[in-house]
Structure 1
Amino acid sequence: MIPPRSVLLGAALAAALALGSGATFLVMQGPAAEAADEALPMPPSLPRLSQGPEYERCLGLLRGDPDEALAQAEAWEANGGGEGARHCAALALLGMGEAPRAAERLEGLARVSRAGSGARAAVFAQAVQAWMLAGEAGRAFAAATMGLTLAPADVDLLLDRAVALGTLGRYAEALEDVDRVIALAPSRAEAWVFRAAAQRRLDRVDQAASDVDRALALAPDNAEALLERGIIRQLKGDVAGAREDWEKAVSLAPDSPTADLALQNLALNEAGPQRR
């Protein structure tokens, strides 16, 4: 299925929210790619590069049968389906778990599409998500940058690019993008979570603690925020508080990359300093 931004962001944040600063808590490798192997819910709406019943029929198949969607899209393209057919085929590949192929197609389509700038930016955003699912954060950053040339104030693209930068270890640049997101949309809890992670990786632990508290004020049951606050509490020596946050993160999102990382941190925390 096609991963909504919230699912992808949670996977990517799990990669970015790794405990550093001298401890050896585990970093998940490629959690977004792992998410691609699971059945993920489809977002409620998709950008449209075309119109007509054939396009809607093909997009509708993505929810339950991406293989059939791909077959129909390829047959339609052979009969002149154009951008609509190519878009549906790329999304079908993503739904089938073939993220690198989907990302290439989505990015190429967004580059040459004759649709409006908003629709093209949205397809670039889909390419960003596909590149992240493929474990290609550098390509995701490039696609997000191209999308932002079309829609400079798109908060989703800005946040996507910040996550890609964080995955690349470019935390100061990521912080610039997430600061823009917060200026445009201060109620976005996930932006505050990522800001906390970037601040922490820049050794600004007090600022990180303040940011994650803001995230949890906005969304008390945000699993990524609890994961991050647990990391910060661990850094500050609050082992019991860290354990409490990680256990709650697991209970809120039990089958997620965030839960996997929280469980690993709990296990290492239980093992004691000699294992860290």
Structure 2
Amino acid sequence: MKHLALCVLSLLMLAGCSKLPFSLPFTGNEETTPPAAEVRQPDRKATYGVSPEAQSYLAQALEYWTASGECTNPEQAAALLDKAISADPLDPAPYLMRSLALSDLGYFNEAFDDATRAIRLSPTAQAYATRGLVCLKQHQPEGARRDFAYAEKINPGEPLIYVYRSAGAFLEGKNSEACDDLKRACELGHCRPWNTATDNGLCR
């Protein structure tokens, strides 16, 4: 069972440095890659202007994520996101991206801190789900469950919640719950993890 859980975790998110189960760090939409200008948190204050310099660095960092969700160079992506944050420290998006890049590099405490900063700036379901993923990588399932619960309360229609939560359920041997979560994510429009699990005989 432990071998199966590790296999699933690698299939869904390859918890070291590789593929993530989504096409972009901020969205469950796997059909298209939106321009960087569209990758904004929905409740950002309208009175706060967007820094063109930060937008430029963010766009460059996004280029390191492939359509399948793989960060091809997390170190370089993180360096660009450092600059984006310096240019616009009130934008939550670069913190979330840097959280993912840092977790790929194994800097889990720093990744957790970045996700927390993003939550403080904009407590969205995506932000909580991202921090929940980092908690899983830190082997902190209780923290992950709390963040997934917060995320689901904020927006139960966010598919990333269920994709990430399924990885934790698989690791705990709760295969039925994990498959239910993947199916739910697929119903919400994010089917790649469900298809991966069914193709590998983990769900049906």
TM range (shorter): 0.7 to 0.9
Q: Does 1:125 align with 2:55?
A: no
Counterpart check, 1:150 vs 2:48? no
User: Does the 8 Å CA contact 1:159/1:177 hold for their aligned counterparts?
Assistant: yes
Contact 2:21–2:163 (Cα < 8 Å) also in 1: no
**Which structure has the bigger radius of gyration?**
1
1:264 is matched with which residue? 196
1:24 equivalent in alignment to 2:7: yes
Choose which of 25, 40, 49 in structure 1 pairs with 2:32: 40
Structure 1: unaligned runs, 5 residues or longer: 1-18, 47-115, 272-276
Deviation at 1:234, TM superposition (A): 2.4
What displacement does 1:148 show? 1.3
Q: Distance in 1 between matches of 2:125 and 2:188?
A: 16
Verify the 8 A CA contact 1:125 1:157 in the aligned structure 2.
yes
Tell me if structure 1 keeps the 8 A contact 2:5–2:173: no
1:234 aligns with 2:170: yes
**Residues 183 and 33 (structure 1), Cα distance of their counterparts in 2 relative to 1, 3 Å cut:** closer
Structure 1 177/243 Cα, relative in aligned 2: closer, same or farther at 3 Å?
same
Residue identity (%): 20
Q: Distance in 2 between matches of 1:202 and 1:31?
A: 16
Structure with the larger RCO, 1 or 2 (CA within 8 Å, 6+ apart): 2
Alignment partner of 1:177 is 2:114:
yes
- AA of the residue aligned to 1:174: A
Q: Distance in 2 between matches of 1:42 and 1:172?
A: 29
Cα separation, partners in 2 of 1:205 and 1:31, compared to 1, 3 Å:
closer
Secondary structure in 2 aligned to 1:146?
A: helix
Q: Distance in 2 between matches of 1:20 and 1:213?
A: 27
Per the alignment, residue 104 of structure 2 pairs with 167
Q: 1:20 and 1:150 mapped to 2: Cα distance?
A: 44
> Which deviations, in whole Å up to 9, do the C-alpha atoms of 1:189-230 show, x marking residues without a partner?
111011111111111101111111111111112111111122
Give the number of the structure whose residues are more often helix, by fraction: 1
1:155-234 counterparts in 2 under 5 A?
155-186=92-123, 188-234=124-170
The answer as to whether partners of 1:221 and 1:252 remain within 8 angstroms in 2 is: yes
C-alpha distance 263-170 of structure 1, shift in aligned 2 (>3 A): farther
Alpha-carbon offset, residue 140 of structure 1: 0.9
Task: Specify every segment of 5 or more residues in structure 2 that has no aligned partner in the other structure, as ranges.
Answer: 25-29, 39-48
Matched residue SS, 1:215: helix
SS at match of 1:132: coil
Separation in structure 1 between the aligned mates of residue 178 and residue 51 of structure 2, nearest angstrom: 42
Q: Using a 3 Å threshold, how does the CA distance of structure 1 residues 129 and 220 change in structure 2: closer, same or farther?
A: same
Matched, 1:249 2:185: yes
**TM-score scaled by length of structure 2:** 0.73
Distance in structure 2 (CA, Å) of the matches to 1:237 and 1:158: 32
Shift of 1:146: 1.1
How many pairs align? 177
Look up the equivalent residue of 1:261 and give its one-letter code: P
CA contact (8 A) 2:5 2:172 kept: no
* Matched letter for residue 179 of structure 2: R
Task: Give the TM-score normalised by structure 1.
Answer: 0.55
C-alpha RMSD of the superposition? 3.3
